[in-house]
Amino acid sequence: MMPTANWRSLFLLLSGLRRHARVDGDSMSPCLAPGDLVIFQPITSDDSRLKAGCVVVVRHPLQPATLLIKRLIAINNSGLELRGDNERASTDSRHFGLVNRDSLLGIAECVWRVPFSA
């Protein structure tokens, strides 16, 4: 489970040291729910903190204006292999292949959970 955002993470976000992306869909369920706000630290693909198993934010390889939040499965010379935790609801590397390392925006640090609204 991803840690819940606290005052420190919100301060870092408001000061521009962190970025955010909103979850749209069930591909990362149960870890993340639609509407959740993921706070992530911008990094580069050669950052030592980038490891298989972490949740990352990347630009969609076929729709660069769209951001994806997925779990990093593997890193190799050809790119990043990404999967959603809920594979039945996820469009990921099984569909569009490896993601170019230049598309990586950051590693998710915490989540601001949005209460369910009907």
Tens digit of pLDDT for each residue in 14-31?
999 999 999 999 999 999
Residue 118: pLDDT band with limits 50, 70, 90: very low
Residue 44: pLDDT band with limits 50, 70, 90: confident
CATH domain 7-112 topology: Umud Fragment, subunit A (2.10.109)
pLDDT > 50? residue 60: yes
pLDDT > 80? residue 45: no
Mean pLDDT of 54-75: 97
**What CA–CA distance (Å, rounded) separates 102 from 93?**
15
Residue 117: per-residue pLDDT: 52
- Which of 8-12, 44-48, 51-55, 59-63 bottoms out in mean pLDDT, i.e. has the lowest? 44-48
From the list 63, 68, 75, the residue with the least C-alpha distance to 27 is: 68
- CA 115 to chain CA centroid, nearest Å: 20
Domains of the chain, by residue range, sit at: 7-112
Can you give the three-state secondary structure of 44-90, one letter per residue?
CCCCCCCCCCCEEEEECCCCCCCEEEEEEEEEECCEEEEECCCHHHC
The residues, ordered by sequence, that sit 6+ positions from 28 with a Cβ below 8 Å of its Cβ are: 55, 69, 70, 71, 84, 85, 86, 90
Q: Rounded mean pLDDT of the chain? A: 94
